Amino acid sequence: MILCEQCPDNPACRNCLLELRSGGSAQKVLPPRKVKVTELATMETSQAQLIAVSRTAIGLLSSTKKLHGRMEVELAFDFRIIGSGLQGINGVPYYVVDIEKVLRKEEVLERLLLEEFHTWHMCNELNPTDVLHSYKDRDDERGRLIKQELQKLSILRQIETIFLYLLDDGKVRPLGSNRAAPDVEGEMQRLIGEATVHGNSLREQIVSHDGKKVFEMYASILPDRTCGIALIDVTAAIAEERRRKRREWEIYRDILGVVTAGKLLLLSDEELFFLLREGHKSLAMDIQAPEDLALLRRSFKRTLEPLGFVAKRFLHFLVAVNEAASNTLKHGSGGTITLYIAHDQDLCRVVIHDQGQGILLEDLPRATLQQGFSTRNSLGAGFHVMLQYCDRIYLSSTAAGTKLILECALTS
């Protein structure tokens, strides 16, 4: 590919436009426009010709000086572009400058572009915290607006795990050098296709292929029909939230254990699984309607009486099981009752499982210990009967439902 000898005056030639890689949004500048170029690393200045423009890049012809690195292109006394340059066509002094931000004298801090934020966030060219000192005592409307935007930038700049992208003409490009792993970018591009097709904003969660990273993705359609994407690494935040919930859960577990003298214990699903492995399943049935309760009582009597269950204890335990089963009907749509008998046949455990909304952790003390506290998700007033007539109660409650295990010795 060569630069046309008549460029940019020959509208039929698109070589200089193709190098911008901006699809159909690139246009020629007719006639070419003289611009001032300042290399930011050395502050050396030179003259060039602006011959092609797009929303994301510009094309410069510079026959007197090679252009490279980050630069400022002054188009007019109040209009400048900051970008990074590279040679576009081999053997021709034609350079493509990727636009990082556009600065206007009256709008530089009043209308912050996505590209501007990213540049400020990722480099030390302009530290918004430093600029804030100049606006500390400003009390006019414009000063307050500038101060507010700078404060936002100061906060966001401290976030090291945010990646910004732009979807333009079907291609995703990062706004700067900071970018996520290729597999995450691939999943991101797949998801934002929906946003661009329907013209809607999109929020999705992305998990890396190895399962070690979790990202929140926000995609918004911009006025020029491109799509801006913010990708935030929330792995650490999720891990910390899980640790916090675990610590909170352990506190509630200890409190309930102490208050009930060890009769009420909170267990995880994993702990419940290993607990039930200590016995074998002897009976299982669904409770869907009040008439099922009578069948439940008869089935338990038929299964447990031959094991030498003391009559009075058996009656009390059956009352507790009946209360637990009734609660699945009162506060939900029924549940499953399963009887396990220990391998040495010295105790039995009954698992009552409903698939309701579960009980909030902060409601557990009231739902289990406070008489008269009853909501759709609580264990009901009968819970005090269960505590009185069982040797121990194990409880696990999540958004997937509540599991209650009533334990009673068979011989004592």
- Look at residues 316, 328, 340, 336 and name the one whose alpha carbon lies nearest to residue 379: 328
* Helix, strand or coil, per DSSP, at residue 71: strand
For residues 396 and 16, give the distance between their C-alpha atoms in angstroms, rounded to a whole number. 67
pLDDT of residue 10: 64
Is 296 found in the same domain as 196? Answer: no
Helix 311-330 × helix 292-304 angle, to 10°: 150
pLDDT of residue 119: 42
In a domain, 209, yes or no: yes
Same structural domain, 343 and 364: yes
Same domain? 288 vs 183: no
pTM of the model: 0.48
DSSP state of 238: H
227 lies in the same domain as 258: no
Q: To which H or E segment does residue 167 belong?
A: strand 162-168
pLDDT at 138: 56
Indicate whether 404 belongs to any domain: yes
| C-alpha to C-alpha distance for 301 and 401, rounded to whole angstroms | 27
Structure token pair of residue 386: 């269960």
d(CA 410, CA 344): 11
3-state secondary structure of 379: coil
pLDDT in tens, 52-61: 888 778 889 8
The low-confidence residues of the chain, meaning pLDDT below 70, are: 1-12, 22-25, 76-78, 104-160, 176-177, 194-199, 223-225, 332, 356-358, 360-382, 399-400, 412
Q: Are residues 179 and 275 in the same domain?
A: no
Instruction: Looking at the structure, tell me whether residues 225 and 362 fall in a common domain.
Output: no
pLDDT at residue 44 in the model? 87
Distances from the Cα of 352 to the Cαs of 188, 326, 334, 348, 402, in angstroms? Answer: 43, 10, 10, 13, 8
300 belongs to a structural domain: yes
Q: For residue range 201-215, what is the model confidence (pLDDT) as tens digits?
A: 788 888 888 888 888
Q: What is the CATH number of the domain that holds 218?
A: 3.30.450.20
Please answer whether residues 128 and 158 qualify as being in contact, where contact means their C-beta atoms are separated by less than 8 angstroms: no
State the Cα–Cα distance between residues 117 and 152, nearest whole angstrom: 10
Question: What is the Cα–Cα distance from 128 to 148, expressed in whole angstroms?
Answer: 11
Q: Are 198 and 223 in contact (CB under 8 A)?
A: no
For residue 109, the model assigns a pLDDT of: 39
Spatial distance between the Cα atoms of 320 and 389, rounded to a whole number of angstroms: 6
Rounded Cα–Cα distance for residues 323 and 388 (Å): 12
Domain boundary among 84, 105, 126: 105
* Domain interval for residue 286: 245-409
The domain that holds 70 is classified in CATH as: 2.40.10
**Same domain, yes or no: 183 and 292:** no
Which of 88, 105, 122 is the last residue in one of the domains?
105
Asked whether residue 156 is domain-assigned, the answer is no
Provide the domain count of the chain: 3
Give yes or no: residues 85 and 221 share one domain.
no
Q: Is residue 128 part of a domain?
A: no
How many of the other CB atoms lie within 10 Å of CB of 125? 12
Answer positive or negative: Cα dihedral of 303, 305, 307, 310: positive
How many beta carbons lie within 10 A of that of residue 295, not counting itself?
A: 11
Extract the tokens encoding 173.
Answer: 């490009």
Please tell me whether residues 325 and 380 are part of one structural domain: yes
**Which of 78, 105, 132 corresponds to the end of one domain?**
105
In this structure, the answer to whether residues 325 and 209 fall within a common structural domain is no
Q: Does the residue 394 lie in any domain?
A: yes
Residue 149, in any domain of the structure = no
Are 371 and 381 in contact by the 8 Å Cβ rule? The answer is yes
219 and 172 assigned to the same domain: yes
Rounded to an integer, what distance in angstroms lies between the CA atom of residue 301 and that of residue 309?
A: 10
Residue 81 Ramachandran class (φ > 0 left, ψ -120 to 50 alpha, else beta):
beta
- Please tell me whether residues 289 and 405 are part of one structural domain: yes
Whether omega for the bond prior to residue 8 falls within 30 degrees of 0, making it cis, is yes
Q: Which two tokens stand for residue 78?
A: 């109040």
370: domain CATH number is 3.30.565.10
93: preceding bond cis by omega (within 30 degrees): no
Distance in angstroms (rounded) separating the CA atoms of residues 355 and 334: 8
* Residue 366 within a domain: yes
